[in-house]
Structure 1
Amino acid sequence: MKQLKTLLIAAVLFVSASQVATAQAKSAHVDVSEIMSKMPAMLEAQKQLEKLSQTYQADYKTMGDEYNAKLKKYAAEVDSVSQKMNEERQKEVADMEKRIGEFGQTAQKELQTKEADLMKPIEDKIKTAIQKVGKAKGYQYVFNSAGLLLADGPDLTVDVKKELGF
Structure 2
Amino acid sequence: MRKQFLFIFLALTVVNTVHAQTRGTKVGYIDMEYILQNVPDYTEATIQLEQKAQKWKQEIEVKKNEIDKLKNALRAEQALLTKELINERETEIKFLENENLDYQQKRFGANGDLIQQKSVLAKPIQDQVFTAVQDIAEAKKYDFIFDKSSDLTMLFAAKRFDISDQVVRVLNRTEKREQLSKKQLKEEEAKENKEDALDENPVLADRQKALDEKKAARDKIIADRKLLQEEKKKEFEERRQQLLSEREAKKSGIVTDSKKTTTTDKAQEIEAAKTAVIEAKQKQAELRAKTLDDRKKLIEDRKKVAEEKRKQILEEREAKKNGTISASAKTEDLKTKTTVNDSTGVPPTTVEDAKLKQEELKTKVLEERKKVLEDRKKALEEKRKKTLEEREAIKKAAAEKLKENTNKN
Q: Which has the higher contact order (CA 8 A, sep 6+)?
A: 1
- Which runs of 5 or more residues in structure 2 are unaligned? 1-13, 174-409
Q: Which residue of 2 aligns with 1:151?
A: 158
User: Could you tell me how far 1:73 is from its partner in structure 2?
Assistant: 0.9
TM-aligned CA distance change 1:94 to 1:39, over 3 Å = same
User: Could you tell me how far 1:76 is from its partner in structure 2?
Assistant: 0.7
Question: What is the rounded CA distance, in whole Å, between the counterparts of 1:113 and 1:30 in structure 2?
Answer: 24
| Structure with the larger helix share | 2
| SS, match of residue 143 in structure 1 | strand
Question: What is the rounded CA distance, in whole Å, between the counterparts of 2:45 and 2:56 in structure 1?
Answer: 17
| SS, match of residue 102 in structure 1 | helix
Q: Which residue of 2 aligns with 1:49?
A: 49
Amino acid at match of 1:63: K
User: Could you tell me how far 1:148 is from its partner in structure 2?
Assistant: 5.7
User: Could you tell me how far 1:23 is from its partner in structure 2?
Assistant: 8.3
Question: What is the rounded CA distance, in whole Å, between the counterparts of 1:153 and 1:120 in structure 2?
Answer: 28
Q: Which residue of 2 aligns with 1:30?
A: 30
User: Could you tell me how far 1:22 is from its partner in structure 2?
Assistant: 7.3
Question: What is the rounded CA distance, in whole Å, between the counterparts of 2:125 and 2:161 in structure 1?
Answer: 24
User: Could you tell me how far 1:102 is from its partner in structure 2?
Assistant: 0.8
Question: What is the rounded CA distance, in whole Å, between the counterparts of 1:137 and 1:25 in structure 2?
Answer: 12
Give runs of aligned pairs for residues 19-98 of structure 1, distance below 5 A: 21=21, 24-98=24-98
Whether 1:162 aligns to 2:179 is: no
Question: TM-score under structure 1 normalisation?
Answer: 0.78
Question: What is the rounded CA distance, in whole Å, between the counterparts of 1:69 and 1:117 in structure 2?
Answer: 38
Q: Which residue of 2 aligns with 1:142?
A: 145
| SS, match of residue 79 in structure 2 | coil
Identity rate, percent = 25
Which 10-residue stretch deviates more, 18-27 or 59-68? 18-27
TM-aligned CA distance change 1:22 to 1:71, over 3 Å = same
Amino acid at match of 2:74: Y
Greater radius of gyration (CA):
2
How many pairs were matched up?
Answer: 152
Aligned-residue RMSD, C-alpha: 2.6
| SS, match of residue 131 in structure 2 | helix
TM-aligned CA distance change 1:26 to 1:40, over 3 Å = same
TM-aligned CA distance change 1:104 to 1:133, over 3 Å = same
TM-aligned CA distance change 1:128 to 1:148, over 3 Å = farther
Q: Is the contact between residue 38 and residue 168 of structure 2 (CA under 8 Å) also seen in structure 1?
A: no
Q: Which residue of 2 aligns with 1:131?
A: 134
